[in-house]
Structure 1
Amino acid sequence: MNGNKSRIWIGRIIYLILAILFTLCIFTQIYLAGMAIFMNPAVWLKHMMFVHLFGFNVPIFMLIFAFIGALPRWAYWQLFGIFTSIFLMYFSANMRTNFPWIGPLHVIIAILLLGLSCLVVGKTWTLIFRKK
């Protein structure tokens, strides 16, 4: 039984670390977009390439460690929201030539994704470190 508790605790800690990493990556993406707009358009390439390093990879590992850490149902719904938001980010970036009105949604979705990722970190932190 004790091994099961340590497995759950380790799974939750790794999930929290991945959630923090994902939040920092989203923040970096928004910062790179701002740099490309206000400083140097060449940064767009970094913005476009950086997302491929973490976009779906980190949330997939988060899903695996959510199972290992036996996280509550809300964690899976939040991950579903993250996956949906990432899909919408790709969609809004790639369909803007066909549907120009979709392009500006890219920024709004990014801000929502940053908020959601901060919520994931906060709720997971509270779950792990709350006093019982």
Structure 2
Amino acid sequence: MDNKEISTLIKVNRVLFLLFSSLFFIAVLSQIFLAGLAIFVNPIYWMKHTTFIHVFGFNIPVLLFLLSYFGKLPQWSYIYVFGLISGVFFMYFTANFTNILRWLGALHPIIAVFLVILSFLLVKKTTLFIFQKRSSELI
């Protein structure tokens, strides 16, 4: 494999990283919307809220971890992905252990806001990293 193929492969992995981090951001917003529907419209949406998390919960962050490795992204990408994985873990924790400590349930929407902010910042930082013109490329 020559350098051009490696460079192209790295670029593809970086674009896929951006795509899946954007998908995660949209999925977290959708989860909040489904929770709002369950509270204000019809409780039937709780089932959709709890089922939807299994589609993207840990799957996308693990994929992001692999793409950050294969895309040779900087260390900040690993920190963000670790934050997403931790956030999803704590979301599961606060949803499933409220029988033991009732106040844990109150942390669930706060962690959701944390995930929205963190995933948005990841999309923004990745977009800037991938598409910013470096001074060496301008010449």
Percentage identity across aligned positions?
42
Aligned to 1:113: 115
Aligned counterparts of 2:76 and 2:65: Cα–Cα separation in 1: 12
Q: Give CA-to-partner distance per residue, 1:81-103, whole Å, 9 cap, x none.
A: 00100000000000111100110
Q: Which has the larger radius of gyration?
A: 2
Query: Which structure 1 residue ranges, 5 or more long, are not aligned?
Result: none
Question: How do 1:1-132 residues align onto structure 2 when only pairs under 5 Å count?
Answer: 1-132=3-134
Question: Residue 34 of structure 1 aligns to which amino acid in structure 2?
Answer: G
If the length of structure 1 is used for normalisation, what is the TM-score?
0.98
- Taking the aligned partners of 2:10 and 2:129, their CA distance within structure 1 comes to 12
Instruction: With the length of structure 2 as denominator, give the TM-score of the two structures.
Output: 0.94
Query: Could you tell me how far apart the structure 2 residues matched to 1:84 and 1:61 are?
Result: 15
1:2 deviation in Å? 1.0
- Distance in 1 (alpha carbons) for counterparts of 2:84 and 2:23: 14
Q: The residue matched to 1:104 in structure 2 has which SS?
A: helix
Q: Partners in 1 of 2:31 and 2:66 — Cα distance?
A: 24
Structure 2 Cα separation of the partners of residues 74 and 67 of structure 1: 12
The letter of the residue matching 1:35 is L
Q: Which runs of 5+ in 2 are unaligned?
A: 135-139
C-alpha separation in 2, matches of 1:55 and 1:117:
13
RMSD: 0.5
1:17-73 deviations in Å (ceiling 9; x for gaps): 000110000000000000000100110000000000000011111111111100000
Question: 1: distance between equivalents of 2:63 and 2:78?
Answer: 12
Q: Report how far residue 3 of structure 1 moved.
A: 1.1
SS in structure 2 opposite 1:71? coil
Q: Distance in 2 between matches of 1:104 and 1:57?
A: 25
- Following TM superposition, the consecutive aligned residue runs of length 4 or more in structure 1 with deviations greater than 4 angstroms are none
Q: Distance in 2 between matches of 1:30 and 1:41?
A: 14
What amino acid sits opposite 1:73 in the alignment?
Q
How big is the shift at 1:7?
1.1
